[in-house]
Amino acid sequence: MQLVDLEKQAVSLKEQLGASEEKRKDVEKEQEDLLVLLDEVTSKRRKDKARLREAGLEVSDDEIEEDDEDEE
C-alpha cells in the first residue's frame, strides 16, 4: 500500500513540475517580448529626437543626458 501511495505522489509531483516549467517558459517569453518592445520604443525615441534636432527644435538637456547614458 505504501508503494502505491509513493507512486501516486511521484506522478502528482511530476505533473506539478511540468506545470511549473510551462509557467516559467511563459514568463520567460513574456519578458523577452517586453525587452524587444523596450528596445523598439527606445530606438524610435532616439530617431524622433534626432528629427526634432534636425528640424531646429529643442530637446531638453535631461533627455540628451539619458541618450548619452544609454549609449555607454
CA-to-CA separations, 54 to 20, 42, 64, 69, 71, in angstroms, rounded: 51, 18, 14, 21, 20
pLDDT per residue as tens digits for the range 27-66: 999 999 999 999 999 999 999 999 999 999 988 766 444 5
**pTM exceeds 0.85:** no
Residue 59 near residue 53, CB atoms below 8 Å: yes
- Whether 72 shows a pLDDT value over 90: the answer reads no
- Whether 11 shows a pLDDT value over 90: the answer reads yes
Structural domain boundaries enclosing 35: 2-71
Select the more confidently predicted residue: 71 or 35: 35
Average pLDDT over residues 8-32: 97
Total count of domains within the chain: 1
